[in-house]
Structure 1
Amino acid sequence: MDVVNHFFEHDYRDRGMLKWQGFYLSDHTAALNHQRDQQQRIYQRQPQQTLPTISKLLADAYQRHRQVTLQLNEVDLNGRQLPDSQTYIYGYHDDRIVIDDQKLIAINQIRHVTLK
């Protein structure tokens, strides 16, 4: 036992967190791959709907509590269309709609609405 204690007290150099750097679980690897795929995916731009059409579809979804797919007039830094959002409409506030997590979206930022 003295030999073991001497080894850990004088010879062994613990690398701390360095020993974990190359260690990934399969769940971590799958999540990283999924994130990379989402970032590289190219989303198709839908045609710009008119404001009356967007308003009618949003009002219908709100009244019937139906899920919608929203495409916003937003692009990433590379000019690619951002992913669509699938959500319910929880209300209106002036010229904005309330969606999941109490997030407000201006109606004039919406490019396309599809009822689910």
Structure 2
Amino acid sequence: MKWQGFYLSDHTAALNHQNQQLNEVYVLRPQQSLAEITQLLADAYQRQQPVTIQLKTVDQNNRHWPDITTLIHGYNANDIVIDADRFIPLPEIRNVAYKKTEKL
């Protein structure tokens, strides 16, 4: 009973991180054409270069979901495969850009 009202420090840090992500405003990048999106994704797949994907999907507060930075593991006529088993429908993609590499 004594410890029920206390959070562990790692749980508090995770909650703070989650709140920070919820309050973050994502920059809306321009809508690309399907041809442009498929060309960039095919090129990234062939080169095995990571991309940043912005989806059209919004949450219940009409905010865009965070960008996804990933390698493309495969594709077909309607979807791309990321994270080995996660499929993203091509019509759900708003923008694709090559991941910026950091200079050391």
TM-score (norm 2): 0.89
Q: CA deviation at 1:101?
A: 4.0
Would you say the 8 A contact 2:73–2:84 is kept in 1?
no
For 1:73-114, what per-residue CA distance to the aligned partner results, in whole angstroms no more than 9, with x for missing partners? 011101111100011100113311101141111111100001
| 3-state SS in 2 of match to 1:56 | helix
Which one of the candidate residues 44, 51, 57 is aligned to 2:34? 51
Q: How does 1:86-101 map to 2 (within 5 A)?
A: 86-101=69-84
TM-score (norm 1): 0.80
| 3-state SS in 2 of match to 1:20 | coil
Q: CA deviation at 1:50?
A: 0.8
Which segments of 5 or more consecutive residues in structure 2 lack a partner in the other structure? 100-104
1:67 aligns with 2:50: yes
The structure with the largest alpha-carbon Rg is: 1
Aligned-pair identity in percent equals 56
Which one of the candidate residues 29, 35, 56 is aligned to 2:12? 29
Q: CA deviation at 1:22?
A: 1.9
> Which stretches of structure 1, 4 residues or more, deviate above 6 A after TM superposition?
none
The number of residues matched between the two structures is 99
Query: Which protein has the bigger helix share?
Result: 1
Alpha-carbon distance between aligned partners in 1 of 2:35 and 2:26, rounded to the nearest angstrom: 25
- Say what the alpha-carbon RMSD is for the aligned residues: 1.1
Alpha-carbon distance between aligned partners in 1 of 2:84 and 2:35, rounded to the nearest angstrom: 26
Which segments of 5 or more consecutive residues in structure 1 lack a partner in the other structure? 1-17
1:107 corresponds to = 90
AA aligned opposite 1:50: S
